[in-house]
A and B are shown apart, each in its own frame.
Chain A
């Protein structure tokens, strides 16, 4: 069995690894709920990570890095919007293209700026988002069970982690309790109806794609300035696709998305501790299997073996106004 201290360690890692997944997953949620498929989450995260790493290194401020990351991600979001909304291009192909573009251009720019083999310089001090201790964590530490849980797992993360998790209820509220959210969901299901009601489909979809850009920017900035200390080539390592998987797993719902990202983050945390896994299940589990688990689970969900995942009805379809 696993002792309590180890469990807390694994959960702490889970939270840190789930954060970029969660931000990217919520990013995809806005876009896809508005009827724009986005398999370019990965590219936007990567661009944001590079911009954040570079800006933080140049200015020494993590917040400047965050802004730069959001800016870079928004540029890619705008390109996706122009291709898939304005020119009614194939949204999937646009996403694939932008992922490649980002994969290459991040290394080119980082290399041109710093000449360190496509990386940005290591960040220290205020150039990173440092862990913050939540109020009372020290005082409550000695209370059995709950104290260490609060101190080790809940407290001691960077501000971006807490932001990510507070965006979950915020997203729920925006989507299901505001007029904007209602219209956003409607434009993903039946854009013609929204158009008939006199609301601009194009503006709504661009707004959704813009929110996706901002959230991917947060995800990428977190990667380079909080989870790690700087940008390295391909540092997102498929997280954009895991987020996409989580989104499907969660059937495009914000709270479920959080649980899915925590689950996938937990798998990633376990993949870092094969010794713990072996101790618990008493069999040697190959690490690649743990790496592949999120993808395997998503395929099972897609196959309809674990409930049915029905995407927004107008997803992927460019909207053509009737003449």
Chain B
């Protein structure tokens, strides 16, 4: 079978996968007696039809950029990190501890410290599965799943028994001090001309975009990145070339965990301004879909994160204005993961057939 041209592999394969996911989603909507066209209209109006909608879409996208990058970094080193959810929740704990520790004088200082806290806690939560994979050969997928549940239990315990202020009923930390409040897009001069109403999207968006550049630079412009990619492509060859597998596995997972943890500056610090139960709300898992859809490249991840931001905000609007349950977005998420991650061979085979036909037509035309 002929190989696909590179542009087709990079652009067409994800787009066709997305098309399949969209078609099946439309069929699901038809099956439950809803109109896919109407649903899409509601989603588009709610998510990208106004600056206010964009404020939410970008807010979700910010979280997904972090978790998508987290999955991407691990993927390049041949590791499947399903633990983004737990790492993000631990990141939230780091953010909360930093924000509550001092009466922060200015948000810039608080942001720096909280980012460090989030990255540190997220990385620490990834460190144990990383060590077990590197040293003991325990499967990273299983250990990170287990760590998601352990993280959830740990946070329930901390929020109910330790961090909850006396007299408060709901299991949550105290509210962060005013000095730790991050400017939302409607607070930033210039942006406030576009975002006239308060929106949840905040300065973390720029941190996320910055991290996309950093991840690109690490992966394709440093020796470490080269070693990670080599290790991911072929463990045996990388070992033969003198790359230390333990070191690469652990560094890749620490980076991945740190990125997943950092999403918490968006939702915990930028939006909720206190630590709640299940703060990450599944964003850690969406990182898997984002990384697959974005073909494990930071540019792709940013674009895919926008798409999923649209899906999440649009899905919330569906739940609000139509009788379609909000769970529709989980269906689409599952389908995107299925087609881009598990059925990618099928999509490629279909494309190869089509390209093959084109080639034979061309050959016939020339002759």
A169: chain B residues within 8 A (beta carbon): none
Residues of chain A from 62 to 102 with CB closer than 8 A to chain B in the complex: 79, 83-84, 87-94, 96-102
Cβ B325 vs Cβ A118 within 8 A? yes
Q: Which of B157, B285, B324, B334 contacts A289 (CB 8 A)?
A: B157
Cβ A241 vs Cβ B153 within 8 A? no
Q: Which of A79, A288, A299 contacts B153 (CB 8 A)?
A: A288
Q: Could you write out 21 A-B pairs with CB less than 8 Å apart?
A: A87-B345, A88-B345, A89-B341, A89-B344, A90-B341, A93-B80, A93-B292, A96-B82, A97-B335, A100-B285, A101-B338, A102-B334, A104-B327, A104-B328, A118-B325, A118-B327, A241-B146, A286-B157, A295-B150, A302-B146, A304-B136
Take A97-B337, A108-B28 as given contacts and tell me if A244 and B343 are in contact as well, using a CB distance cutoff of 8 Å: no
A286: chain B residues within 8 A (beta carbon): 157, 161
Residues of chain B from 314 to 364 with CB closer than 8 A to chain A in the complex: 323-325, 327-335, 337-338, 341-346, 349
Q: Which of B49-57, B137-145, B212-220 contacts A (4 or more CB under 8 A)?
A: B137-145
The interface centre, meaning the residue of A93, A111, A118 with most chain B CB atoms within 10 A of its CB, is A93
Smallest Cβ distance from B353 to chain A, in angstroms?
14
CB-CB nearest in chain A for B330: A104
Q: List chain A positions with a Cβ less than 8 A from chain B.
A: 39, 79, 83-84, 87-94, 96-105, 107-109, 111-112, 118, 233, 238, 241, 244-245, 248, 286, 288-289, 291-292, 295-296, 298-299, 302-304, 311
CA distance A104 to B331 in the complex (A): 5
Q: Does B33 contact A (CB under 8 A)?
A: yes
CA distance A101 to B327 in the complex (A): 10
Take A92-B80, A288-B153, A299-B147 as given contacts and tell me if A105 and B331 are in contact as well, using a CB distance cutoff of 8 Å: yes
**Interface class of chain B by DSSP:** helix
B150: chain A residues within 8 A (beta carbon): 292, 295-296, 299
CB-CB nearest in chain B for A242: B149
Q: Does B15 contact A (CB under 8 A)?
A: no
B338: chain A residues within 8 A (beta carbon): 79, 83, 94, 97-98, 101
CA distance A39 to B329 in the complex (A): 21
Q: Does B48 contact A (CB under 8 A)?
A: no
CA distance A88 to B160 in the complex (A): 45
Cβ A90 vs Cβ B342 within 8 A? yes
Cβ B141 vs Cβ A112 within 8 A? no
Residues of chain B from 232 to 283 with CB closer than 8 A to chain A in the complex: none
Given contacts A112-B33, A233-B327, A286-B157, 6 further A-B contacts (CB under 8 A): A91-B342, A94-B343, A109-B32, A112-B31, A295-B150, A299-B138
Q: Which of B82, B146, B343, B344 contacts A299 (CB 8 A)?
A: B146
Smallest Cβ distance from B148 to chain A, in angstroms?
9
A292: chain B residues within 8 A (beta carbon): 149-150, 153-154
A84: chain B residues within 8 A (beta carbon): 342
A97: chain B residues within 8 A (beta carbon): 334-335, 337-338, 341-342
Cβ A108 vs Cβ B331 within 8 A? yes
Cβ A111 vs Cβ B149 within 8 A? no
Q: List chain B positions with a Cβ less than 8 A from chain A.
A: 28, 31-33, 80, 82, 128, 132, 136-139, 141-143, 145-147, 149-150, 153-154, 156-157, 160-161, 285, 288, 292, 323-325, 327-335, 337-338, 341-346, 349
B333: chain A residues within 8 A (beta carbon): 100, 104
B325: chain A residues within 8 A (beta carbon): 107-108, 111, 118
Smallest Cβ distance from B86 to chain A, in angstroms?
10
Take A101-B338, A291-B153, A299-B146 as given contacts and tell me if A112 and B161 are in contact as well, using a CB distance cutoff of 8 Å: no
Cβ A101 vs Cβ B334 within 8 A? yes
Cβ A298 vs Cβ B142 within 8 A? yes
B329: chain A residues within 8 A (beta carbon): 104
CB-CB nearest in chain A for B161: A286
A299: chain B residues within 8 A (beta carbon): 128, 132, 138, 143, 146-147, 150
Take A39-B141, A92-B80 as given contacts and tell me if A238 and B149 are in contact as well, using a CB distance cutoff of 8 Å: yes
CB-CB nearest in chain B for A301: B138
Q: Which of B31, B138, B146, B154 contacts A245 (CB 8 A)?
A: B146
Q: Which of B33, B128, B334 contacts A103 (CB 8 A)?
A: B334
Q: Which of A92, A111, A302 contacts B138 (CB 8 A)?
A: A302
A311: chain B residues within 8 A (beta carbon): 139
Cβ B145 vs Cβ A241 within 8 A? yes
B337: chain A residues within 8 A (beta carbon): 93, 96-97, 100
Smallest Cβ distance from B187 to chain A, in angstroms?
35
A93: chain B residues within 8 A (beta carbon): 80, 288, 292, 337, 341-342
Smallest Cβ distance from B151 to chain A, in angstroms?
9
Cβ A112 vs Cβ B288 within 8 A? no
B349: chain A residues within 8 A (beta carbon): 87
CB-CB nearest in chain B for A84: B342
CA distance A100 to B349 in the complex (A): 25
Take A289-B157, A292-B149 as given contacts and tell me if A302 and B143 are in contact as well, using a CB distance cutoff of 8 Å: yes
Cβ A248 vs Cβ B292 within 8 A? no
Cβ B32 vs Cβ A108 within 8 A? yes
CA distance A292 to B145 in the complex (A): 12
Take A39-B145, A97-B338 as given contacts and tell me if A105 and B345 are in contact as well, using a CB distance cutoff of 8 Å: no
Smallest Cβ distance from B118 to chain A, in angstroms?
22
B82: chain A residues within 8 A (beta carbon): 92, 96
A111: chain B residues within 8 A (beta carbon): 32, 323, 325
Smallest Cβ distance from A150 to chain B, in angstroms?
35
Take A89-B342, A94-B338, A298-B146 as given contacts and tell me if A100 and B330 are in contact as well, using a CB distance cutoff of 8 Å: yes
B332: chain A residues within 8 A (beta carbon): 104
B285: chain A residues within 8 A (beta carbon): 96, 100
B327: chain A residues within 8 A (beta carbon): 103-105, 107-108, 118, 233
CA distance A248 to B285 in the complex (A): 23
A303: chain B residues within 8 A (beta carbon): 132, 136, 138
CA distance A311 to B141 in the complex (A): 13
B139: chain A residues within 8 A (beta carbon): 302, 311
Cβ A105 vs Cβ B28 within 8 A? yes
CA distance A147 to B332 in the complex (A): 54
